[in-house]
Amino acid sequence: MGQEKLDQECDVLFFPDKSNEQKVIDFINLAKKELKICVFTFTNTAIATAILKKVENEKIKVRIITDDVQNEGKFSIVDVLQYASDDLIKFRTDLNKDAHMHHKYVVIDDKMIATGSFNWTSAAVLKNNENLLLIKNQKLAKIYSKNFEELWEQFKSTEKSLSKLSSDVKQRGTSLKNKIEKEAQKGEKQASSKGRKKAQPQEQEKKQVAGDMIIENEEEDEDQVKRSRKPNNQQQQKPIEQEDNNNPPPSNQTQNGDTTPVKRGRKPRQLSREEEEELQQKKENAKKKKKIKKLVKMSKVTEVKRVVLQSKMAQSRFQKFKNILYNAASFTLGVLSFGSYLYLSQRKF
């Protein structure tokens, strides 16, 4: 159905509406000191879990008044909350079996109230047509608080100790407590994993910065080594140059005094006519061999083609001969069958 916002001090929720259940829980979580809950029937596990977490984490005071007949129901969660909270949450019921404690409100820190037709059940959230006013008004909250205190005093004799609770209630209370502990552990793990994920990029950045510094230092060291090596190289090159100056390459001196360097290496030997003829003959022989190889290849190809053609012709001839034999056989069979037919027909007549 949704939510209607009236002003800063009052909101209204309509049901059935699953999303409004969380708004009820959020409103309850505004409590910092005390919750005074006065509801006809209380079976909603989500709201009960939120209240139990509030008690365990923030140690707020919680008191609940509910109907005696409804509290005896199978799904009532009021006494379960008492056991799960180790008696930190107290509850009382009315005394008259013929009448009901039919209020449906909660007072938060004597400053805020939530009241309406809304029972604290799953059916009220998902099925029933309900309404709930969320009011932040201290004067109105004190009026409701006064009513609660009067009922609390009136139903004093109905308060139970943990030892008087049934085994089923104790079992349900233990399971609810374990569920909350598991959720808390999951939350811690998720928070720690998120912290690790945030820390990992920072560590990687630190490692990267450190690596960059190491690389820069290594580059500086290499530059220093190169600079230190340069003079040595120059010193090593100087004696080589001196040696080259002391031992100049051989040269031919002309009449004018100019020097021309002598070409080193052997000159190619001139061939005689006979040797040239032999080389030319070898080249011609090599050319002839290449031509012969080409002709042989061509002849092989043509031979293969000829064989293929012959085989195809032979196959076609065989097929023709086969067809002739088949036709002859069929003709002879036809003649014989016709002759036998005539013979048999003459014998009958």
Residue 177 domain flag: no
Q: Are residues 294 and 157 in the same domain?
A: no
289 is catalytic: no
Question: Percent of the chain having pLDDT more than 90?
Answer: 46
Residue 241, Cβ neighbours under 10 Å: how many? 9
Question: Looking at 36, 103, 104, 111, which residue is catalytic?
Answer: 104
In a domain, 251, yes or no: no
Mean pLDDT of the chain: 82
Candidates 53, 109, 136, 160; catalytic one: 109
How do residues 42-59 score in pLDDT, each as one tens digit?
999 999 999 999 999 999
What is the token pair recorded at 130? 């309900």
> Residue 290: inside a domain, yes or no?
yes
Question: Is residue 132 in some structural domain?
Answer: yes
Q: Looking at the 3D structure of the chain, how many domains does it have?
A: 2
Q: Which of 18, 102, 146, 189 is catalytic?
A: 102
- For residue 38, is it within any domain? yes
**HSE, side-chain direction, 13 A CA sphere, residue 129:** 0
Residues 196-216 have pLDDT tens digits of 666 666 666 666 666 566 555
Confirm whether 61 is a catalytic residue: no
For the question of residue 109 being annotated catalytic, the response is yes
Question: Where is the domain boundary, 102, 134, 165?
Answer: 165
Query: End of a domain among 132, 165, 198?
Result: 165
Q: 112 forms bridges with which residues in the sheet?
A: 108, 136
Q: Looking at the structure, tell me whether residues 157 and 20 fall in a common domain.
A: yes
Helix extents (H) in the chain: 18-28, 45-58, 68-71, 78-84, 122-126, 138-154, 167-246, 273-348
* Residues of the domain holding 329: 286-349
For the stretch 64-109, pLDDT in tens is 999 999 999 989 999 999 999 999 999 999 999 899 999 999 999 9
Could you say which of 165, 181, 198 is where a domain stops?
Answer: 165
pLDDT attached to residue 78: 96
Q: Which residue has the tokens 């014989």?
A: 336
Eight-class DSSP state of 42: B
Residue 262 lies in a domain: no
3-state secondary structure at position 111: coil
**Which pLDDT score, from 0 to 100, does residue 269 have?**
66
Using a 10 angstrom Cβ sphere, with 0-12 exposed, 13-18 middle and 19 or more buried, the burial of residue 100 is middle
Q: Tell me, yes or no, whether 161 and 298 share the same domain.
A: no
Q: Tens digits of per-residue pLDDT, 271-313?
A: 777 788 888 888 888 888 888 888 887 877 777 777 888 888 8
What is residue 108's three-state secondary structure?
strand
Span 214-225, pLDDT tens digits? 555 555 555 555
Which range, of 14-28, 129-143, 171-185, averages the lowest pLDDT? 171-185
Q: What is the per-residue DSSP string for 117-157? A: S--BSHHHHHTS-EEEEEEE-HHHHHHHHHHHHHHHHHTGG
Burial 312-346 (b: 16+ CB within 10 A, else e): eeeeeeeeeeeeeeeeeeeeeeeeeeeeeeeeeee
Reduce the DSSP state of residue 309 to 3 states and report it. helix
Per-residue pLDDT, 149: 98
Q: Which tops the pLDDT comparison, 340 or 175?
A: 175
Taking each helix axis as running N to C, give the angle between helix 167-246 and helix 45-58, from 0 to 180 degrees, rounded to the nearest 10. Answer: 70
Mean pLDDT, rounded, for 32-42: 97
pLDDT above 50 for 233: no
Residue 278 domain-assigned (yes or no): no
Confirm whether 78 is domain-assigned: yes
Q: What is the pLDDT of residue 241?
A: 46
Q: What is the CATH number of the domain that holds 14?
A: 3.30.870.10
